[in-house]
Structure 1
Amino acid sequence: MPPFLKSRSRIAAHHYHEQDQHQDCQTNIDEKASYNSLTVWRKSLIFSCNGFTVIGSDGSLVYRVDNYSSRPNQIMLMDAHGFPIFTISRPKKLRLVGNYWLIYEGEVGKESSNKPIFCVRKNMSIIKAKPSVLAYVYGGGVSGEGFKYTVEGSYARRSCKIMDESRRALSEIKKKVAMKRGASFGVEVFNLLVQPGFDSRFAMAIVLLLDQMFS
C-alpha cells in the first residue's frame, strides 16, 4: 500500500477505534460469542473518491472502497491491499423490473462472463407486509428461487440486521458509541458486528448496497 494510504489509515484507526460499550445494548447478536467487530468509516482513503474505510478491532485496515464517478453503477469492495473481493453492479435492464443489484466475485469488466453469486432486491412494496424489511438477498441471479437472507431495520439510523431464514441475526449495523459520555459518532462512522461463521466480506457488501439504496 502506498505510504500516504498507510498514513491516512493510521489516522482513521487512531481517531475512530475505541472500545464499544456492549453491556447496555439490546441485540440479537450473541454477546457470548467472539463476534467480529468492524468500524466502518463512510470515507475513502483516496482524497478524490467517495467510498468506505473499514477498520478491524485491532486498528488495522481490513477493507476499502474507492468509488470513482466514472463507474456510478458499479462498486468494488477491496481488501486492505487493494485486491478486489466483490463487485456490486446495478444493470440498467434490471431497473425496468425493480430495484435489483448483483454481487459478483472479484472484479467484473465489460467483457466478463462471470455469473452473479447473489442478487439483492430493495423492498419496494407500497403496502409492506413486513415494514421493517429493507431488502431481500437471493442466491445467484434474478431468477433465483426464494430468498436466503433479509435485511431489516433502518439504515438511516444505522440500526439494521442481516437475518437468515430462521430469523437469526448473522450481522448487525449499529451506531458507534464513544466511551466518554456515551457520545455518538453520527452516521458517518458505525459498527458492523458479524457472527462467527458468517462472511464479514459479504456483510460489508450488504452495507454498500444499503448505502446505495437508502443514502
Structure 2
Amino acid sequence: MVLFFKSRTRTIISAEDNLDHQKELKNDSNNAAEECKTLTVWRKSLLFSCEGFTVFGSDGSLVYRVDNYTGRGRRPDQLILMDGSGMPVLTMFRRKKLGLIDSWLIYEGEVDDHSNKKKKKAKKPIFCVKKSLNILQANLNALAYVYRGMSDKRHYCYVVEGSYTHRSCKVLDESRRVVAEIKRKEAIIGGVSFGLEVFNLIVQPEFDSGFAMALILLLDQMFT
C-alpha cells in the first residue's frame, strides 16, 4: 500500500511538472512572437494630392507616413519618412552621379539640402544604399547593398535579397542573419490576397523599424 501511494504521488508530481513545462514553452513562444514587430504597409498616401506610403502598427495605429508632392510617374530626388504625427524620422537623397547604379544617402531627421557645402555644420549621412547590378555581383539574389556613412567602397553592412516586385524580400546583416522581411499580406479569413499595394514588414527587435521602412521606400524607387 505504501509503494502504491508513493508511485501515485510521483505520477501526479510528474504530470504537474510536465504541465508547468508546457506552459513555460508556450510562454517562451508567445514572448518570441511578441518581440518581432509586424507592420502593415499600404502603398498609398493619406493625402489626396500625393503619392506615398502609410504604415500601421499591429494595433491599427499610424506609425509612419510618406507624402510625395511630385507628379504621377515622376521620380523624386528626395524622400522624407515621417512618424504618425508628421515629424521627420529619416531623409533620403538620390545621389547625383553618372552611371547606371541607382544609389541613395540616408540622413537622420530632416535635411533641407545635403549638397549645400557652404553649411558649416552639414549633417553627415548615416547610410548609403546602392542598387545591385546582378551582372557585376556574385550574389544574383541581391537587390541592394547598404553601407555605413557616405562611402560605398567598404564592405556592406546589410544586403537586401529576394524580389520586391513580388513583395518577398529579406534584409540580412553581415553574418547572414535575417533582421527584417517583406511579405505578402493574406486575409485571415478565406485566404484572399490584398495584392501588391498592401503587404507586411516584419522587423526583428534589434533592428530599427524606421530604417527598415526607409529601405522599402528605396526599393520602391529602384524596382517600380
TM-score using structure 2 length = 0.78
Aligned position for 2:168: 159
Aligned position for 1:68: 69
Larger mean CA deviation between 64-73 and 75-84 belongs to 64-73
User: 2:112 aligned with 1:109, yes or no?
Assistant: yes
CA distance in 1, matches of 2:45, 2:164: 19
Aligned position for 1:185: 194
By how many angstroms is 1:35 displaced?
0.4
Aligned position for 2:149: 140
Aligned position for 1:86: 90
Aligned residue pairs: how many?
185
Larger relative contact order, structure 1 or 2 (CA cutoff 8 Å, min sep 6): 1
By how many angstroms is 1:177 displaced?
0.4
Larger mean CA deviation between 54-63 and 126-135 belongs to 126-135
By how many angstroms is 1:95 displaced?
3.8
Mind listing any 5+ residue stretches in structure 1 that lack a counterpart?
Answer: 1-29
CA distance in 1, matches of 2:215, 2:100: 21
| Alignment check: 8 A CA contact 1:50 1:66 kept | yes
Residue 127 to residue 108, structure 1, CA distance change in 2 (3 Å): closer
Larger mean CA deviation between 205-214 and 102-111 belongs to 102-111
Which of 209, 216, 219 aligns to 1:207? It is 216
CA distance in 1, matches of 2:136, 2:157: 22
CA distance in 1, matches of 2:206, 2:41: 20
CA distance in 1, matches of 2:199, 2:32: 18
| Alignment check: 8 A CA contact 1:33 1:195 kept | no
CA distance in 1, matches of 2:69, 2:208: 26
CA distance in 1, matches of 2:201, 2:45: 17
Coordinate RMSD, CA, aligned: 1.9
Opposite residue 109 of structure 1, the aligned amino acid is: D
Larger mean CA deviation between 132-141 and 101-110 belongs to 101-110
Larger mean CA deviation between 123-132 and 182-191 belongs to 123-132
User: 2:159 aligned with 1:150, yes or no?
Assistant: yes
TM-score using structure 1 length = 0.81
By how many angstroms is 1:142 displaced?
2.6
Q: Percent of aligned positions with the same letter in both sequences?
A: 58
Aligned position for 2:48: 47
